[in-house]
Amino acid sequence: MLISVYIPLAVTAVLTVLAPRLSRRLAPRSAAWALACAALVTTVGWTGSLALLAFTAVAQIPQVAAEGHWSIPALRAEDPVHLAVAVAGALVLAVGGVSLILAAARQAHHLLWARRECARMPGDSELTVVDDDTPQAFALPGAPGRIVVSRGMLRCLADEEREALLAHERAHLRSRHHLFQTLWRLTAAANPLLRPLADAGGFALERWADEEAAAQVGSRRIVARAVGRAALASSSHASRTPTLAVTGGPVPQRVQALLAPPPPRRTLPIAGGALLLALCCAGLANAASDSDQMLDDAQRVLCAASITHTSGAPRPEGFHHGQDVCCERRIRGERAERHE
């Protein structure tokens, strides 16, 4: 546990640095899925490691040790984690938990707002044109989702560019990109180290929609012009447009990618990321196993001390009245296992 408990934390730090860079070299759809898997797995590993670190301190509280029926001195002797590290892990875990709850509430409020807005819009068609001179276009997830475009945005684009814009927003809805965003925001709330990964994920979603639009329109250059003109038109107007919009992400990089050939499929970065995630899971599993073994050994010490106490020796530290029954059951169980 001395090393394995820190492996998920180290893997999270490495992926935080490498994932945004590697995701730009992957096909956007593959990058989005890879970043989603990385965020989910590393958050589980991060939370599990912090919980194991924090438990090493909590387990030494007399009341907890009494309920768990283990010896505090034995646990303290086998525990390789410094008390200050365990307390710091507990504080980080608590802050992350509160942040996650707040982020979940915000995401739920945002999704409910989007559904209400979709329900209020007239008509049953997917496209809703708003009589507003402010250039804006975005996708609202709902049941079904809606594409909202202002007349000001439509006046800024040519016919073929309008088609590209609608194809871009339609790709957001069809691929349910808001679920990816929700995952990244929640994991970044639980683990602040994942915020760069969440930003890279947002860019991957916009690139994914760009590529889908280019495939539907049949011209990467038209989509590039639509993205550039839409961004220029909306840049001079302060708006609170939702993030599933054609103007989202670093627009110059998106335009440059659209003017280049389609990104090739790469397997090496995905294989490397999968290896790191497997290492994260293995480290967490090994740390959990070591922690369980440590508690089991501490319980054995207390049971042995209980037997010594019955022969007249003084009670050991951490031993409480009523634990004789637990130790006796444990000894009987071990004898039955040896007999079998």
309: left (phi over 0), alpha (psi -120 to 50) or beta: alpha
Show me where the domains of the chain are located. Answer: 4-339
259-290: pLDDT as tens digits: 999 888 888 888 888 898 999 999 999 988 88
Angstrom distance (rounded) from CA 151 to CA 158? 13
Going by C-beta distance under 8 Å and a sequence separation of 6 or more, which residues neighbour residue 277? 11, 37, 38, 41, 42
275: left (phi over 0), alpha (psi -120 to 50) or beta: alpha
User: pLDDT category, 313, cuts 50, 70, 90?
Assistant: low
Give residue for tokens 């069809």: 174
Q: Assess contact for 263 and 28: CB atoms under 8 A.
A: yes
Q: Assess contact for 129 and 238: CB atoms under 8 A.
A: no
User: pLDDT category, 307, cuts 50, 70, 90?
Assistant: low
pLDDT at 157: 92
Angstrom distance (rounded) from CA 157 to CA 228? 10
pLDDT at residue 101 is higher than 60: yes
57-90: pLDDT as tens digits: 888 888 887 777 777 787 777 767 788 888 899 9
Going by C-beta distance under 8 Å and a sequence separation of 6 or more, which residues neighbour residue 191? 12, 42, 43, 46, 47, 96
Q: Assess contact for 287 and 273: CB atoms under 8 A.
A: no
208-257: pLDDT as tens digits: 999 999 999 999 999 999 999 998 888 766 555 556 777 777 889 999 99
Tokens of 291: 């922690």
